[in-house]
Structure 1
Amino acid sequence: MRKLKVITFVTLDGVMQAPGGPDEDREDGFDHGGWAVPHIDEGILRLMTGLTAEAGALLVGRRTYDVFAATWPLAEPGDPIGDRMNGLPKYVASRTLDTVSWRNSTLLTGDLADAVRELKRGDGAEIQVHGSGDLLQTLLAHDLVDELQLLVFPVLVGSGKRLFGTGTVPGRLRHECTTVSDSGVVISHYVRDGEVEYGAMGPETGNW
């Protein structure tokens, strides 16, 4: 069984929309595109190089596919992230695309949740999801995410697509590790760890 890991840039107020450029995703009038770029330093680049080296495949939504397919093929040969992105098998979730042309890309068909479950039943290294906000909501709603690598940037934008939207399945996460980049990005790794546990606290409970 392959694990599915989500790697996401997110603002401190929970927005994941368009971290990489002004015109990446202007849906719903979003005008804060590129909010992550001033905080991308050598440490973040080293981290992303290491993370992508662990991938056995990519799973992306249509908008992220469009952005990646237009940019990563332009990377210089020998670029460690570009070489990895271009060479990996890529699975694309889209209701509007008929074909995909980026090297080693496959368009998923039929029920998306069933298709992802089938991918996870295969052999190989982890399946990584980068960006892909709409796809991520479907994966969370069907409890298909095994691990989360969150890069929380010290930025507030106030509006935009949220990492955890309506439909997220309740669950407990186990914290694995946290580091902080020189530019103030908090990088945390979480693993799915069963059902939510509940309790009560206050003077009347003795748990205070």
Structure 2
Amino acid sequence: MRITLATFLTLDGVMQGPGAPDEDTRDGFRHGGWQAPYADEGLATYTAEWFAEADAFLLGRRTYEIFAAYWPNVTAENHPIATPLNTLPKYVVSTTLDKAEWNNSTLIRTDVIEKIAELRSRPGRELQIHGSGVLAQSLLDHGLIDELRLWTYPVVLGTGKRLFEPGRTPTALRLVDSRPTSSGCVLNVYQPTGKPTYGKFTEE
């Protein structure tokens, strides 16, 4: 399976608390819910397309808890991504959760990189990560993410958790798709291509 990452970012790279004011207030973050004013048809359409390609989900603890508190109460008639989220396998990376009770959920507590690499080697379509910043950063550093789907919104917050924090492993990316939406969001899809290359401009 390919491992794909989808996440929402501000122009200054913040991914913390996009969905609601109280979603993630760590470190005094007070800008929660910044994505909501930009929701539009493009977001719904592209999200549904990608969820239809999922064979399983890979989630960090915080994202899992947010999803597990909401999606089991949503039916397919109300939202097209409810069925895959509620029925497909979900692998939850956490050292603090005692159990994962949402249907078809499995905890990964130890040997995380090795176990995720094994999942990636299985046949299938996509093992999808949504949000899950700490997990995504670790997998990027280990070269285990095959595609990044980054939704960048026209807002600057100046504070908050970022996907690409200082200290990340240098990685070159290839742009394979780019789509603007009516609200001003730009969806860019990248595939890692290995280490960056370097050069310099000449006076020719």
Give the distance between the partners of 1:114 and 1:76, measured in 2 at CA: 35
After superposition, the Cα gap between the structure-2 partners of 1:167 and 1:120, relative to the gap in structure 1 and judged at 3 Å, is farther
**For structure 1, which runs of at least 5 residues remain unmatched after alignment?**
none
After superposition, the Cα gap between the structure-2 partners of 1:136 and 1:145, relative to the gap in structure 1 and judged at 3 Å, is same
Secondary structure at 1:85's aligned position in 2?
helix
> What is the aligned partner in structure 2 of residue 102 from structure 1?
102
Q: Give the number of equivalent residue pairs.
A: 203
Write the mapping of 1:1-208 to structure 2, written as runs, cut at 5 A.
2-78=1-77, 79-201=79-201, 205-206=202-203
Cα RMSD after superposing both structures: 1.1
Normalising to structure 2: TM-score of the pair?
0.96
Secondary structure at 1:177's aligned position in 2?
strand
**Does the 8 Å contact 1:140/1:167 carry over to 2?**
no
% identical aligned pairs: 48
Paired amino acid for 1:14 = G
Q: CA deviation at 1:70?
A: 0.3
Instruction: Give per-residue Cα distances to partners, 1:131-179, cap 9 Å, x unaligned.
Output: 1111112112222111100100111111110011234221211111111
Paired amino acid for 1:72 = W
**For structure 2, which runs of at least 5 residues remain unmatched after alignment?**
none
Paired amino acid for 2:29 = F
Paired amino acid for 1:73 = P
Normalising to structure 1: TM-score of the pair?
0.94
Give the distance between the partners of 2:142 and 2:161, measured in 1 at CA: 19
Deviates more, 1:69-78 or 1:11-20: 69-78
Give the distance between the partners of 2:75 and 2:2, measured in 1 at CA: 30
